[in-house]
Structure 1
């Protein structure tokens, strides 16, 4: 009960000024509420539950470190997924994929559960709770009426009340009330889920009807041959150098890369779907069938890894030609993770697949955490600043839209390019009135840099435009 109340109060006090370490501070008592509720219901935390819980809290450190919204959004979303696994448990695909739905359901049932708990806490009678609420309302009314009269009678007392009473302005008051209620509801949902988890491991997914060897293997073998032919061309053309690309296709590196990356990304996703459905309908009559399945799907997965390498190489060529952007670094990270999933599937074919759902989920969470910690906006700025030093090409318009995480790298630019970029980011940051708990480390570092060496007060836009290279493809 106290942990739920602490979550609500911290949400009300800390979450109205932006996201930083305040989100982690508000989540910790919600986690304690779930822990105490689970213990009261007779549950004991298992090793994987602790891994999911600690991992979820670790992901909430990303908003405290990075000013950019998009890696923080990914981190918070992943933290919700890990939190559902910590509360419900589970080791199967239904438990991994459907866990967040049960927590959402507890948002409704948790409030009723919490109200019943309060009634029991106050003796199980409505009258006890009603008396407490009525006395609280009367006390608040008396304070408001007589406090207003005393404040009107004496200016010094009015100043004292102004210092003691928190801001309840029309603009801030309703927001704080909403945050209080949201914090209480979320904490109650977490506690209720921990006390009464949904056993999604009991959801039975029936295997598909097994096919005979020819019907199952022939389409996959044809697909494998197609993969092999494509990969042979990639090894000759893509890794043969610039002259080979021009000779074979008549295109530049960038044109060749842009033409094929997205198709290869879709190929990787479709390959995973093909493997999933192939396993569902795979023949299962004996050892011979198991060897056939492992051989065909193992070969297909190995060739799919070459496709992943080809897609990564194409993106590298594309970045070399046009620079790094948020979209490019995001899809590149996604492609690398898909390649890791293919490797895990191949390992499951050798050592069994019982561990696969948990490890895939853990790899996704680790990837999101690493993506946030490495500061994508900072990497984008570093790459593009280095490209500017090497080629003299720089997209100032795009750099202006980066977050404060990019300031340390952009600070290395020479004038007037430095002021052209940093003046826009400084205007976006505005005055230094963000409370410490709502300010990320990236923003604080950027403010220090801009305070020590501010950009030029007035920047000639014509000069900035003359320095701007607008790439053909963003």
Structure 2
């Protein structure tokens, strides 16, 4: 590890300590996560740059992978980390942050195949162990006055910290106004806070060093790629796919007959189900069908015959039809889930499954474009991974808890039914929507959230959703005397 990278990693660790550490005592992440993630991404990019992996290979030659894919995934990682600054719901923020780490890890490793994309996303975990001797030697060189050029920077920084601490403390004691201003900038010092700051700084330092190590020495993930498969014969390949196409055609035809029928309940008398029950039945089976179809398409593409034009036309025709019919299955599954949600309300699990099925539909479209329309699969694994990151960013942007609360409030206005016991477990993201409920349901739904928001946050723990919720609750405080016993049974 070069002294410059060692100094950069140390600075990133310090940023993590002073931005993430203060937010840990209250358990509320905020804008500090975004600041720290930007610092880690910068060091990761600098590491790849110093290794020559951000520079084009030469005039007129094709650029290296990091010129495009790596930069895109670094940007996606930073955008995913921004979820901590705008959303309060842990169930959506934590997966977004984990996906940000995976996206940054792949950005440092690179690769085009499925094995390289998956392995690159997970490579940061073993890199923590591999980078220890590499980073240790670099830190020793950086801190050595005789061997490194980073020591003057470190020495100057220590002098600045000591001088500010001594004279700042004297000024705080000499003037009350200055002391009041400075106390808001200086974090609270206690045994617990020091431990949390050290933990945040160490975790950031380790993550930064692991990412920098991957930028310098990406693992040989190409060894994970399977050997090229021997193409199957045309008929032994085409007959099973054609049979599957016919099965999907029959299913889609029955679905069309049911959904287009004027009297749907009469049409379904033989099943013993009403239309609403029929629409809600079998959703998860259809999700499994979609996943299995993607596996079938992957195997079919691997063993698809490619001897001549007739083979290529057969492959594109059968797989294109299967992709199109799979999209119909996705639409049917989403329709069934939507009817279920309209009847019983939205929950986090139902929204997760809804988003996952949407993403599966997007994957089917990408597969169809790559394998059927263009006949080029090299970019497909990267596109699917980027699509997953974009889908998570889109899910964060719609404010999931606010979306769930808003639809349940709309349902209450239409039917008079609402599950307040479930709504009270939502996060501060849901406060604007829950504020529309009448009393006592409003106070019952907001009481727990208001209790969590009563304490102030440090500057680096600032969060848009919590700030907005505090403003709403400040103008319309929760009625602590509201009787919630009957509200919980209103659905």
TM-score class, shorter-chain normalisation, is 0.7 to 0.9
**Of the candidates 414, 417, 432, which is equivalent to residue 408 of structure 1?**
432
Partner in structure 2 of residue 321 of structure 1 = 343
C-alpha displacement of 1:435 = 1.6
Find out whether 1:102 has 2:123 as its counterpart: yes
Partner in structure 2 of residue 146 of structure 1 = none
Alpha-carbon distance in 1 for matches of 2:481, 2:323: 57
Partner in structure 1 of residue 254 of structure 2 = 233
C-alpha displacement of 1:165 = 8.6
Alpha-carbon distance in 2 for matches of 1:29, 1:363: 24
Residues 435 and 442 of structure 2 are in contact (CA less than 8 Å); yes or no, is this contact kept in structure 1? yes
**Of the candidates 82, 90, 103, which is equivalent to residue 69 of structure 1?**
90
Alpha-carbon distance in 2 for matches of 1:92, 1:328: 32
Alpha-carbon distance in 2 for matches of 1:239, 1:454: 49
Residues 119 and 125 of structure 1 are in contact (CA less than 8 Å); yes or no, is this contact kept in structure 2? no
TM-score using structure 1 length = 0.87
**Of the candidates 389, 400, 419, which is equivalent to residue 443 of structure 2?**
419
Alpha-carbon distance in 2 for matches of 1:327, 1:293: 37
TM-score using structure 2 length = 0.84
Pair 373,244 (structure 1): closer, same or farther in 2 beyond 3 Å: farther
Residues 359 and 388 of structure 2 are in contact (CA less than 8 Å); yes or no, is this contact kept in structure 1? yes
Partner in structure 1 of residue 399 of structure 2 = 375
Alignment RMSD, CA only?
A: 3.3
Q: Secondary structure at the match of 1:171?
A: helix
- The runs of 5 or more residues in structure 1 that have no matched partner are 134-155, 470-474
Residues 31 and 82 of structure 2 are in contact (CA less than 8 Å); yes or no, is this contact kept in structure 1? yes
Q: Secondary structure at the match of 1:43?
A: coil
Partner in structure 2 of residue 300 of structure 1 = 322
Alpha-carbon distance in 1 for matches of 2:190, 2:69: 45
Partner in structure 2 of residue 362 of structure 1 = 386
C-alpha displacement of 1:203 = 4.6
Partner in structure 1 of residue 358 of structure 2 = 336
Find out whether 1:83 has 2:104 as its counterpart: yes
Alpha-carbon distance in 2 for matches of 1:12, 1:439: 16
Alpha-carbon distance in 2 for matches of 1:465, 1:176: 41
Superposition map of 1:49-64 within 5 A: 49-64=70-85
**After the TM superposition, which of the residue ranges 2-11 and 366-375 deviates more from structure 2?**
2-11
C-alpha displacement of 1:125 = 7.6
C-alpha displacement of 1:53 = 1.0
Pair 128,449 (structure 1): closer, same or farther in 2 beyond 3 Å: closer
State the aligned residue count.
Answer: 453
Pair 19,239 (structure 1): closer, same or farther in 2 beyond 3 Å: farther
Residues 8 and 184 of structure 1 are in contact (CA less than 8 Å); yes or no, is this contact kept in structure 2? yes
Deviation sequence 1:103-162 (CA, Å, 0-9, x none): 222212223212212333355989999xxx9xxxxxxxxxxxxxxxxxxxxxx79x99x9
Partner in structure 2 of residue 22 of structure 1 = 32
Partner in structure 1 of residue 272 of structure 2 = 250
Find out whether 1:6 has 2:11 as its counterpart: yes
Alpha-carbon distance in 1 for matches of 2:139, 2:254: 69
